[in-house]
Amino acid sequence: ELRIMLRFHNNPFIVRASSDHLHFATNTKSMSLCYIYMEYASLGNLNKMISDAGGRLSEDSVRRATRMILQGLKALHSEGFVHCDLKPSNVLVFPSNTRGEPWDLKLAGFGLSKEPTMDSSLLFPGTLEEYMSPEAIERDRFVGKDKLIGPARDIWSLGRIVLRMFGGIPVEVRGSNTWRLYEDISPEATDFVRRCLAWRPSNRATVDELLDHPFAAEKLPLLLSFLRVPSFVRRNVNEKLNVRQEELIPKPQGLLW
């Protein structure tokens, strides 16, 4: 865990270690304890943020949070790392460095992460089944590369986290975990989740593909209302932009969560 934190010390989407070595101590029961000193997440974790919001975040907040998580995963995956234990409690919340924004997110909890030098066929099960990918839970049902530990495992977990941010609740159906949403979400968000939760790892979207997806892609503000142009021109331009945005939304792939 410390190695990964030090490796990505300057990445704004990964929690930063404040010491370059482990610290050991003995408690009152003579038990040896090991500590990692890291920056303090004064706003808690994503679980707390969702709870404080009444169990569901707004779509704009989900969109922003998703993009930050993707940026952290992009750093890991591009260097050959896989988180393997992505869940809301391992996403820490900090006061934002961006003017006008309330919070920033950083990835943490790398104790089960796969490093580039590790065998991809080893078993890294994760710690919370609701966010674990099918190949992590039922490995014997997969063959070939789909059995190996790869970035697709984190993508599945991200899809489940997005459902959680939208107020989704894990339920058991025929002995397996699925998620239920009690309110509708946008077509963009629906398609994004489906691309994360493809059953076969090889069918899931990559981090780069998801960063370009209409749901997560950064949207530049349109300032047409401030331009000195006739109102009918603004309406015409805005109508064309709306049509273009609808065309960019990928069609659902028929994948279930």
Give the pTM. Answer: 0.82
**Amino acid identity for residue 108 in this structure:** A
pLDDT computed for residue 145 by the predictor: 82
pLDDT computed for residue 31 by the predictor: 85
Residue whose C-alpha is closest to residue 50's, from 176, 206, 196, 160: 160
pLDDT per residue as tens, the chain (257 positions): 999 999 999 999 999 999 999 999 988 787 889 999 999 999 999 999 999 999 999 999 999 999 999 999 999 999 999 999 999 999 999 999 889 899 999 999 999 999 998 887 776 666 788 999 988 888 777 878 888 889 999 999 999 999 999 999 887 666 566 788 878 899 999 999 999 999 999 999 999 999 999 999 976 554 444 445 455 555 565 555 555 555 544 444 433 44
Q: Is 216 helix (H, G, I), strand (E, B) or coil?
A: coil
Q: Is 248 helix (H, G, I), strand (E, B) or coil?
A: helix
Provide the annotated active-site residues. Answer: 85
Distance from the Cα of residue 97 to its chain's centroid: 20
* Domains, the chain: 2-19+37-219+226-248 (1.10.510.10)
Contact call for residues 12 and 68 (beta carbons, < 8 A): no
Contact call for residues 137 and 160 (beta carbons, < 8 A): no
pLDDT computed for residue 250 by the predictor: 46
pLDDT computed for residue 252 by the predictor: 41
CA gap 65, 48 in Å, rounded: 14
